[in-house]
Structure 1
Amino acid sequence: MSIEDGYGDDWIPTATHVRDFSCDAVFLINDGHSIGTGGDLSDEERERLSEPLRELGLPQLARTHLPTRDLLNRETHLARYYEQLIAIAGARGSTHEMQSGGFPYFAVKPAFVSAGQDLTNFLWIDWVAETAEVLKALADFDQSAPREVWDDLDQGWAVRIVSRGPMTYVIEWNWEDDEAVLAGYVFATDELARQAAAAHERLSIIHRRLIELLGHDYWTYVPLAVEARAKITPAVIGRKLLASIGLPRAKRRDRQSR
């Protein structure tokens, strides 16, 4: 689908029916290392500057996506991970950048997973509030009539979720890329709504407990002071730090425009 094709629903009939799936919110962590500093680094420099994060009782620490179902009641372990991450970044002079919240250190996003495979990326979502909004939209369903659940576009990336009564359809694509392969998925609406509601509740609990444990809400975006804004923006932070924590590289939207 190119930009000229708009938001048509011609992909719906060919969407892949996914019967066994998980819908959750995931906390994005690194793969066991953090450098807490920016700049374009070579692989050798990055390895030299990396500092290992100790095993902290987190499930599958080597993974970058930790779902709330694995984190509920383990908030103290997750807080210890963030404490060490904050300490490393602080030692490298990145503390101020972390205060703004969200991407990239504290990114959280929705996730659709099947057979261990991520079906979605939600590239532009990285705050708890954004993730909660998607989950709530999925949870509040009405099978009696078709509806648009979620429709978002930013700098070429797009996600469209539509409900057709008992089935809900999800597609994600880069509409500025004529070579993009469209892979739509269809899920049972009632099961998707049930999982989304449970994930929304778990995310709220975990978010609240993390704030209590760390004394600061690192998962909600807070605009930087005016004098710092020109020097440090989410886009700048992303370019500096994305490679260091192993997240996909992507352009970041200007949060001030909201």
Structure 2
Amino acid sequence: MTTALITGSTAGIGAAFARRLAADGYDLVLVARDSERLRKQARELTDRHRIEAEVLSADLAEDAGIASVEARLASTDRPVGLLVNNAGFGNKGRYLEVPMADELRMLKVHCEAVLRLTSAAVPGMRDRGRGGVINVASVAAFVPRGTYGASKAWVVQFTQGIAKDLTGTGVRPMALCPGFVRTEFHSRAGMGTDNIPSWMWLDADRVVDAGLADLAKGKTLSVPDPRYKALLGASKLVPRGMLGKVSSTTGRKYGPQ
């Protein structure tokens, strides 16, 4: 039976991946910071789907947390066949309003952790001749969106770059780029969402379904909704200055909810 490791598994897209993969019969390694939430999630998934769910409490903004997940991914006792790098967050404020320590913390989670965990998982997958890596990015990767968008652009470029290097190995990397998804993301960052049109919101379970379907097709980039595919297509025709103005205001109203 295939084992999947999911970072940021207790909420949002990560939790949706855990539900879907458990239903598909995957054993799971659930990674997040909150041990209590992890144990509760593991019990629920085990009881419902009769799979094995291992919990690993780790803060991917810390070297020790990344190292503990690297060690699990490198283990040959129960190899991981699918890695979902989903952990991430946003900072409250625009460039120069966010403390440098917070900016660096986000880059460590979005970029360094993704690089290190992918690099820990892929050698074993390559040796076995099969495996998958889903790196959760964002449509923000394709529009001017400050440090957050820049970090997600790195995820996309990294993932598509290694996909070329791994051609023929049986390992399939893919960057998943959803738009606005109803999760805890905005509330945790203190961002208001009342200026986001209702039609722009996506359901986490549907995002996961579309992403896994694209992975099965061998795609290296997944934009899991026709509306956002159309928006990204249109964005190529819009002047960068106008696109930056729209991007800097939509979904970035900071303050109390």
Where on the TM-score scale, by shorter chain, does this alignment land: which range?
under 0.3
Give the TM-score taking structure 2 as reference length. Answer: 0.24
More helix by share: 2
Give the TM-score taking structure 1 as reference length. Answer: 0.24
Q: Which has the higher contact order (CA 8 A, sep 6+)?
A: 1
Q: Which has the larger radius of gyration?
A: 1
